[in-house]
Amino acid sequence: MSRPAALVVAGGGAAGFLAAITAAEAGVADVHVLEATAEPLTKVRISGGGRCNVTHACWDPLTLVGHYPRGSRALRGPFSRFAPGDAVAWFADHGVELITEADGRMFPSTHSSATVVAALRTAARRAGVQLHSRCALRGVVAPAGPAEPFGLQLRGEGSGAAPVACRRLLLATGGHPSGRALAAQLGHRLQAPVPSLFTVRLHEPRLQALAGLVQEPVGLELQIEGVARPWRQRGPLLLTHWGCSGPALLRLTAFAARDLAAAGYRGWLTVDWTGGLPAAEVQEGLRHQRQQHGGRTLGAQRPVPALRRRLWLALLDQAQLAADLCWAALPRAGEQRLLQGLLVSRYAIVGRGPFGEEFVTAGGVDLGEVNLATMESRRVSGLHLAGELLDVDGVTGGFNFQHCWTSGWLAGQAIAAALADSGSGDHG
C-alpha cells in the first residue's frame, strides 16, 4: 500500500472545504477532499438565491445559540472559539468583504455566491489541498491500532488518483444518506433525519387567494395533537398559493420539526394578524370605528392601519361580514367575530409545502458522541465529523453556514495539532 495521506475529507461542501484549508494552512502537507459530484460547494453556490448568506451579524455566542433548534446549548463552546466575527475576519483575509443587511444577514459585497466559492477554491489550491471530484467514499475500515491508518473504499470516475488510506479522516458529507451510513458503520448513533425549515399547506382558500402578500409582523402559535406545549413565533408571514411561508413560519417549523414529522405534518396554526396588540386595544379600535367613522364602510376603514387591505377584506369575509356594510350598522356578534379573526384566526395545517426547504435537515450524528472542541469522534480515534452530518440545524439567516464554518475550522485546527503531536511527518 502507498503511504497514507495525512488527512482525507469526505465532502466538498462548506464545512469540508474550510476544514481542509484550515489544516493545510496550519502546515498539514497532504490534504485531500473527496467530492462525489462534478462540482464542489454546490450549496454555497445556490444559497441565498445565488448571493450566499455567509453568516449572521450576531456577535454574542449566548444569543447566537438561540437560533439553533437542535444543538443550541452544546454549541456555546464551539461558538466561543469561532463565531460570526471570526468568519467575517476569515473571509476578509481571503479577499471577500461581507456586508450586513437590515435583518442581520451577511452577504458578499458582490452579491454573488461565486465570490465565496472562488475564495474557498483559491485558498484550498494555494494551501496545497488536492480536490478529487466525482469521487465518493463508499466504505471505511477503522484503524486496527493507534499507529494504523484508515482504509478507504472509493467509487467514481475520480477515484483513481485519490488516496486509499489516511491518518485522519473527516466526514463532512452534509445531509446525504451516504455520510450517515458511514457514520453508523463506524459505530455512531444517529438521530433520524427529518426536514427542517419548510413551508406548510393550509386548507384555507381565502388566504391562498392572497398569494404573494406579506404581513408584518404577525404572531404565530402552532398546536400539534399530543404535544402539550404550543410553539410560538413572531415576525413576517408570506401567504402562498398552497398556504404560508416567510421568516416567522420557517422559524416555527424549524423548532417544531420533530413534533410535526411525528404528527404527519398535521396541526393547527393560530395567527394574530395584529402582531401582538392587546385584545382590549383592538376591541377599542373596533368601537372607535363605529363611533367616529360610522358612515364609512368596513372595507374602506381598517381598525389596524398596518393590516394589508386585501388581507383585511379576506378577514371580513372570514367573519361573514360584507365589505360595503357601514361601521354604524356592525352588529355586536359581527364585532366579536371580527375581533376573533384579527387576534386568533385558526387554520388547519394539512401538510408540508410542495417544495419544502429541505436543504436543511434536523438529525444526524448525536452530539454526545463528538468532542465539540475538536470535532473528533468519541468512538473512533482519528475520525472527525463536521457540518450538517451532525445533529445541528439553524434557522434561516446564515446560521447553518456559520455552524459549518465553525465546525470545519475547529476540526481543521485539531487535526493539524494532532498530526503535529504525532510526529508523523505529515505536518510541514
Given pLDDT bands bounded at 50, 70 and 90, which one contains residue 424?
low
Over residues 114-159, the pLDDT tens digits come to 999 999 999 999 999 999 999 999 999 999 888 899 999 999 998 9
pLDDT for position 175: 87
> What are 283-328's pLDDT values in tens digits?
999 999 999 999 999 999 999 999 999 999 999 999 999 999 999 9
Q: Are strands 5-10 and 165-171 parallel, antiparallel or unpaired?
A: parallel
Does the pLDDT at position 358 exceed 80? no
In this prediction, residue 355 carries a pLDDT of 64
Order of strands, sheet of 98-100, starting from the edge strand that comes earlier in the sequence: 55-56, 105-108, 98-100
d(CA 129, CA 136) in angstroms, rounded, equals 17
Q: Tell me: the pLDDT tens digits for 329-346?
A: 999 999 999 999 999 999
Q: What percent of the chain has pLDDT over 70?
A: 97
Report the topology of domain 5-194+359-422.
Answer: FAD/NAD(P)-binding domain (3.50.50)
- Residue 56: is it exposed, middle or buried by C-beta count within 10 angstroms (0-12/13-18/19+)? buried
CATH number of 200-269+347-352: 2.40.30
pLDDT of residue 17: 98
**357-383 average pLDDT score:** 91
The pLDDT value given to residue 221: 98
**pLDDT for position 414:** 98
> pLDDT exceeding 90 applies to what percent of the chain?
92
What are 240-282's pLDDT values in tens digits?
999 999 999 999 999 999 999 999 999 999 999 999 999 999 9
What is the average pLDDT across 29-42? 97
Q: How far is CA 29 from CA 17, 23, 421, in A?
A: 15, 9, 14
pLDDT higher at 137 or 48: 137
